[in-house]
Structure 1
Amino acid sequence: MVVRRGLRSFFITLALYLVSSGAVGYFMFHAQHGSRGLEARGGLQESLRVMEDELKELTTERKSWEQRLALMRDEAVDRDLLEERARASLGRVHRNDVIIMGR
């Protein structure tokens, strides 16, 4: 009887240790390799850098457009800008103009 109790308590203790170490191993594995783990954090930080660079470019472009619109909104419209827009929309060019294709 004493041997059975000792053997039973040994196996119960061993089973508890195995189950708890399995659970800890499972959670540690997913903390490292899971979709929200440490490895995924590096990918998210890289995509954040790319998005921040894109935001800087778009902010610069927006400021450029705001500056051009400010010239159109004033009481006196900038003649050069008006002529540029008219020529672009009509597709006309003066014979003495030099055309530089952009974009």
Structure 2
Amino acid sequence: MLRRALGPAVLLIVMAVFGTYAVLGPNGARAYGDIKRQLTKRDVELAALKQKRAEWQNRVNLLDPKKADPDMVDELVRKKLNVAHPDDVILPMQP
């Protein structure tokens, strides 16, 4: 009689282990809220990075050799070469 009960008992233990893992494991039902919070946080970071990328893309487009923006070129030349006329007024801009 003990041998006949051994198979279902092992099966029941295995099912209990997998069931517990499905609920309490790192990808289980209880971890869903934490995963949702992480996703929201990453979406905010992604939006900030996309905005920063758009700003950099705009600067790159302004420096295109075929149609460079004269003000942007002048700003970069003065910044890199540290060149200014004595009568120039330099106003630092916050990025």
- TM (norm. structure 1) is 0.64
Distance between the aligned counterparts of 1:19 and 1:83, measured in 2?
Answer: 78
Distance between the aligned counterparts of 1:96 and 1:23, measured in 2?
Answer: 78
> 1:23 Cα deviation (Å)?
2.4
- TM (norm. structure 2) is 0.68
1:39-54 correspondence runs (5 A): 39-54=30-45
Number of residues paired by the alignment? 93
- Sequence identity percentage: 23
1:49-68 correspondence runs (5 A): 49-68=40-59
**Which residue is equivalent to 1:71?**
62
Question: Based on CA coordinates, which of the two structures has the bigger radius of gyration?
Answer: 1
User: Unaligned 5+ residue runs, structure 1?
Assistant: 1-7
**Which residue is equivalent to 2:92?**
99
> 1:30 Cα deviation (Å)?
0.6
More helix by share: 1
